[in-house]
Amino acid sequence: MASHEGKPIRVALLGCGTVGTEVVRLLTDQAADLTARVGAPVEVTGIAVRRPNKHRDVPAELLTTDAAALVASDDVDVVVEVIGGIEPARTLLLAALRAGKSVVTANKALLAEHSAELFEASDASGADLYFEAAVAGAIPLLRPLRESLAGDRITRVMGIVNGTTNFILSGMDSTGAGYAETLEEATRLGYAEADPTADVDGFDAASKAAILASLAFHSRVTAADVHREGIASVSAADIAAAKALGRTVKLLAICERVPVGGAENQTTVGGAEDQATVGGNGGRTSADGATEGISVRVHPAMIPTSHPLASVHGAFNAVFVEADAAGEMMFYGQGAGGAPTASAVLGDLVAVARNRVHQGRGPRESAYAALPVRPMGQTPTRYHISLDVADRAGVLSQVAAVFAEHDVSIAAVRQEGRVDDASLVIVTHAATDAALRSTVDKIGGLPVVREVVSVMRVEGEET
Ligand code: NDP
Ligand code: HSE
């Protein structure tokens, strides 16, 4: 890589929407400070968009619709990608890296599917690949995982990583606002993805969970490895049921080290979807033959209102990281929106620009551990089950018998009688997804059960 001492760092910006507009603003407003911090001026040499006529605040001579030509231009040292989606972003970034141009991207969907080939291209040319903005907006989280905690053994990463769904759930919980109107507001505020189903169906959080797990556990985890449930099925009744029990509903991303394939895990399920994915070196082996693996999942869960994540409202994100030596850490801040995300992009841009000026290089991919991902069917979690049942003698014992039959242990039961039926709420101890599914299927078929009103995981409490 040629030395850039004193010469400007020339930036191609791909995309100028919610995030890109703020990147341009920060680069302009802070030009003098950035020059001092980098050791060279940082100049935008071109901005690729789809509809140039829409971008009246940007100098017209910088705009182009030919992103590929901009990336290939000799006048570009760094490519900042804030288009989103897989193509053309993937092709453009591979071209940039192969040509030795550093890349900064906020594109979690791309990284969660194609990080291996992007890292390979980055390694081949020695160009940097930075992506702090891809997870949790403004919050410095990936740099701590990639660098600050590189000497520790991370055991768990858990948190709220999608601002849009947290905004929706917070609204439903606090003001009883409707799902559709809150989603519309999140879109207006620039939190939602171009296709908001990526947020509400959990794809965005699953991409982020894949990135977090890859970095935390030094393994390649893709979005396809992540168990994913969105918030579309979370009803006002679920939220009310949670409230009645001193809980609230959050969409959580959970990545943790777990045993895989031991005696305990082999008794529960079979079938292709229950086999551990991501073959690897197997990690550590315990006395019962289980090796170390990881569980990576995204789903709504009830958490106690006393839990620190319960007070994370609106588009804010918060992530707990647990590591052997460091103990527990919590990262909190704005998880979405143009300016917060642009802050993370600029942080990366300064880092890669400094690397170019001083001929250094950022961290490479670290995937040596190659830990297998444990199937969700073998992952024990606690559940909250709400049933409408006939209000007569013997109902509770029939329901309890089905739990016992499937070896699902009940932690708490609450029953409220109504005129001719009753509401029965059961909270379980930790049970596997597979055992719980069979239990609920059988309970739903009992003549005394009128309706299975809701089934939701419970997190943040002792098992
Ligand atoms: P927007 O939809 O607001 O902006 C996308 C931009 O990309 C637009 O300027 C659009 O051009 C341009 N674009 C789309 N297709 C092409 C193409 N083929 N060639 C050139 N330009 C193109 O997205 P955001 O700014 O919200 O998000 C950008 C990225 O940042 C995504 O990866 C997203 O996941 C990520 N991100 C977003 C956050 C947020 O809060 N919004 C937070 C963290 C990450 P035009 O304007 O002309 O249509
Ligand atoms: N749509 C994403 C969210 C943007 O709502 O969290 C930030 O990654």
The domain segmentation of the chain, as residue ranges, is 9-138+338-357, 144-334, 379-458
Q: Which ligand is nearest to the CA of 166?
A: 2
310 burial level (CB within 10 Å; 0-12, 13-18, 19+): buried
Phi, psi of 357 (to 5 degrees): -65, -40
Q: Is 163 in the pocket of ligand 2 (CB under 6 A)?
A: yes
Q: Residue 265: what pLDDT?
A: 47
Show the beta-strand stretches assigned E in 27-152: 42-48, 63-64, 78-81, 102-105, 129-130
Segment 64-91 mean pLDDT? 98
The token pair that represents 320 in the structure block:
């707990």
379-458 is a CATH 3.40.50.720 domain: no
Q: Is 199 in the pocket of ligand 2 (CB under 6 A)?
A: yes
Q: What are 309-365's pLDDT values in tens digits? A: 999 999 999 999 999 999 999 999 999 999 999 999 999 999 999 999 999 999 999
Gap between the Cα atoms of 43 and 181, Å rounded: 40
Whole-number Å distance, alpha carbon 380 to ligand 2 midpoint, is: 28
Whole-number Å distance, alpha carbon 194 to ligand 2 midpoint, is: 10
Side-by-side strand order, sheet with 42-48: 63-64, 42-48, 9-14, 78-81, 102-105, 129-130
Q: Is 201 in the pocket of ligand 2 (CB under 6 A)?
A: no
Lowest pLDDT segment from 155-169, 276-290, 403-417? 276-290
Show the beta-strand stretches assigned E in 70-226: 78-81, 102-105, 129-130, 154-160
Whole-number Å distance, alpha carbon 193 to ligand 2 midpoint, is: 6
Residue 455 has pLDDT above 50, yes or no: yes
Q: Which ligand is nearest to the CA of 107?
A: 1
Instruction: Tell which wins on pLDDT, 294 or 180.
Output: 294
- DSSP H helices, 267-419, are 338-357, 395-405
The token pair that represents 343 in the structure block:
């802050």
CATH architecture assigned to 9-138+338-357: 3-Layer(aba) Sandwich (3.40)
Confidence of residue 199 (pLDDT cuts 50, 70, 90): very high
CA distance from start to end of the chain = 53
Q: Is 350 left (phi over 0), alpha (psi -120 to 50) or beta?
A: alpha
3-state secondary structure 180-210: HHHHHHHHHCCCCCCCCHHHHCCHHHHHHHH
Instruction: Tell which wins on pLDDT, 277 or 261.
Output: 261
Provide the β-strand partners of residue 388.
423, 451
Q: Residue 112: what pLDDT?
A: 98
By C-alpha distance, which of 455, 456, 457, 270 is closest to 377?
A: 270
Q: What are 388-430's pLDDT values in tens digits? A: 999 888 899 999 999 999 999 999 998 887 767 888 999 999 9
Whole-number Å distance, alpha carbon 336 to ligand 2 midpoint, is: 5
- Looking at the annotation, which residues are catalytic? 208
Contact 184, 192 (CB under 8 A): no
Instruction: Work out which ligand 2 atom sits closest to the CA atom of 196.
Output: 1
Whole-number Å distance, alpha carbon 315 to ligand 2 midpoint, is: 8
Q: Residue 73: what pLDDT?
A: 98
Q: Which residues surround ligand 1 with Cβ inside 6 Å?
A: 14-20, 48-51, 54, 67, 82-84, 88, 106-108, 133, 137, 190-191, 193-194, 336-337, 341
Whole-number Å distance, alpha carbon 175 to ligand 2 midpoint, is: 22
Q: What are 358-389's pLDDT values in tens digits? A: 999 999 999 999 999 999 988 899 999 999 99
Contact 50, 84 (CB under 8 A): no
For all residues of the chain together, what is the average pLDDT?
92
Which sign does the torsion angle of CA 428, 433, 438, 442 carry? positive
- For 144-334, CATH number out of 3.30.360.10, 3.20.20.190, 3.40.1010.20, 3.30.420.40 equals 3.30.360.10
Q: Which ligand is nearest to the CA of 208?
A: 2
Please report, to the nearest 10 degrees, the dihedral formed by the alpha carbons of residues 60, 66, 72, 78 taken in order.
50
What does DSSP say about strands 380-390 and 431-432: parallel, antiparallel, or unpaired? Answer: antiparallel
Q: Residue 283: what pLDDT?
A: 55
Q: Residue 81: what pLDDT?
A: 99
| Rounded (5°) CA angle 201-257-164 | 25
CA nearest ligand 1 atom 17, residue: 50
For residues 93-114, one letter each, b for 16 or more C-beta atoms within 10 angstroms of the residue's C-beta and e for the rest, the string is bbbbbebebbbbbbbbbbbbbb
Instruction: Work out which ligand 2 atom sits closest to the CA atom of 191.
Output: 5
Mutate to test the pocket of ligand 2, among 105, 139, 164 (most ligand atoms within 8 A of CB): 164
Estimate the crossing angle of helix 18-29 against helix 338-357, to 10 degrees.
Answer: 60
Residue 276 has pLDDT above 70, yes or no: no
CA nearest ligand 2 atom 7, residue: 336
